Amino acid sequence: MSRSPIAIFCAVAIYLAVMALMVWGLRVAQQRVIETLGSEKALAEWRAFAEETRRPPPGQQPVLRRPVKSDEPPSLVLMRDHFIAILATSLLIGSFVYAFLLFLLWGTTRGAGLESGPRPGPGESC
C-alpha cells in the first residue's frame, strides 16, 4: 500500500522542522555556554577551583580526589571544540527516532483499511 504524496510531503516537512529546531536549540545552548563559561570571571573561578583540587587540604588526610587537569571548564571545551560532533550525533539519533516513530505511525494506520475476511463469532472455530 503506497502513501499519498501529501502524507509523504507532511512527513518530510515535519522532519525538516524538527531537525531545524534541534540545530537551533543546540546553537542557542552553545552560545549560552560560551558566553557564561568563556568570560574572564568564569575562567578565573575555574582556575581557582582547579588549583584548589591540586593542593591537599591543610592538616588533614589527603582527599582521594583527582586533580583537575584542564585550564577550562569541560562544558566550554565540549561546546566550543567538539560542537560539530555533538550536532552530527544529535541529528543522527534524532533522525533514527523520527524514522522509528514514523514507521510505527504508518504501520498502525496501514491496517485500518484492510479486511481479512469474515471473523469467526464466539464459539466458532477457525
Number of H helices, E strands in the chain: 4, 0
Structure confidence at residue 115 as a pLDDT band (50, 70, 90): low
Q: Which residue has the higher pLDDT, 107 or 27?
A: 27
**CA–CA dist 83, 86 (Å, integer):** 5
Q: 3-state class of 31 per DSSP?
A: helix
d(CA 126, CA 119): 8
pTM: 0.74
Q: Is the pLDDT of residue 125 over 80?
A: no
Cα angle vertex 17, ends 13, 21, to 5°? Answer: 170
- Which pLDDT score, from 0 to 100, does residue 90 have? 97
> pLDDT grade, residue 110 (50/70/90)?
confident
Cell (9 digits) for 67: 586533580
Domain boundaries, the chain: 5-56+69-108
Question: Is residue 80 within 8 Å of 34, Cβ to Cβ?
Answer: yes
C-alpha pair distances (Å), 118 with each of 101, 114, 115: 31, 12, 8
The rounded distance, in Å, linking the Cα atoms of 74 and 82 is 11
Per-residue model confidence as pLDDT tens digits over 3-20: 788 989 999 999 999 999
